[in-house]
């Protein structure tokens, strides 16, 4: 049985499916269950309604952005704040990964260009192979 988490791997990960992967998934599920239980208890205990206000200037009765005053449960406000922070963190991480992959591609192109230059300096009779071709 292949799990959904194993299907999410990128094609660059050349890792074969192993029994150990299933064990890791079960450990994650068992560790995640208390977190879900704590979240449910938090939601149950914090159901009182709160009203949010947003004013850009501390001048009373002068609002640039008028948000309708709708009472929301406290747990919803807290969980949405956590979720929003998580999404912002994911976006920052995705941008950083993009920058790193771009840098790796540039470095690989530079290495290939320099290897071609070395090969042209050495001549076509040189039987030495590139260190990159050994890894691939």
- Residue-level pLDDT at 10: 54
Q: How far apart are CA 78 and CA 85, in angstroms?
A: 11
Show the CA angle centred on residue 73, arms to residues 70 and 79, nearest 5°: 115
Closest CA to 44 of 83, 82, 75: 75
> Beta strands 72-73 and 49-50: pairing type?
antiparallel
Tell me the pLDDT tens digit for each residue of 32-91.
999 999 999 999 999 999 988 766 666 666 656 666 778 899 999 999 999 999 999 999
Q: 2 or 89, which is more confident?
A: 89
Count CA atoms within 13 Å of residue 73 on its CB side: 10
- Residue-level pLDDT at 70: 83
Closest CA to 129 of 121, 7, 118: 118
Q: How far apart are CA 40 and CA 47, in angstroms?
A: 11
pLDDT at 1 over 50: no
Phi, psi torsion values for 5, nearest 5 degrees? -65, -35
Which DSSP state fits 72?
Answer: E
CA-CA-CA-CA dihedral for 79, 80, 81, 86, to nearest 10: 90
Closest CA to 5 of 27, 21, 19, 18: 21
């Amino acid at each position: 049985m292949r799990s959904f988490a194993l299907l999410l791997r990128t094609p660059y990960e050349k890792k074969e499916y192993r029994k150990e992967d299933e064990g890791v998934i079960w450990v994650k599920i068992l560790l995640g269950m208390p977190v879900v239980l704590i979240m449910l208890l938090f939601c149950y205990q914090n159901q009182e309604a709160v009203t949010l206000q947003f004013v850009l200037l501390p001048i009373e009765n002068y609002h640039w952005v008028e948000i309708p005053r709708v009472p929301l449960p406290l747990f919803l406000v807290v969980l949405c704040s956590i979720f929003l922070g998580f999404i912002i963190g994911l976006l920052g991480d995705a941008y950083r990964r993009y920058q790193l992959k771009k840098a790796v591609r540039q470095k690989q192109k530079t290495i290939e260009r320099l290897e071609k230059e070395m090969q042209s300096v050495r001549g076509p009779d040189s039987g030495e192979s590139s260190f990159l071709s050994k890894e691939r």
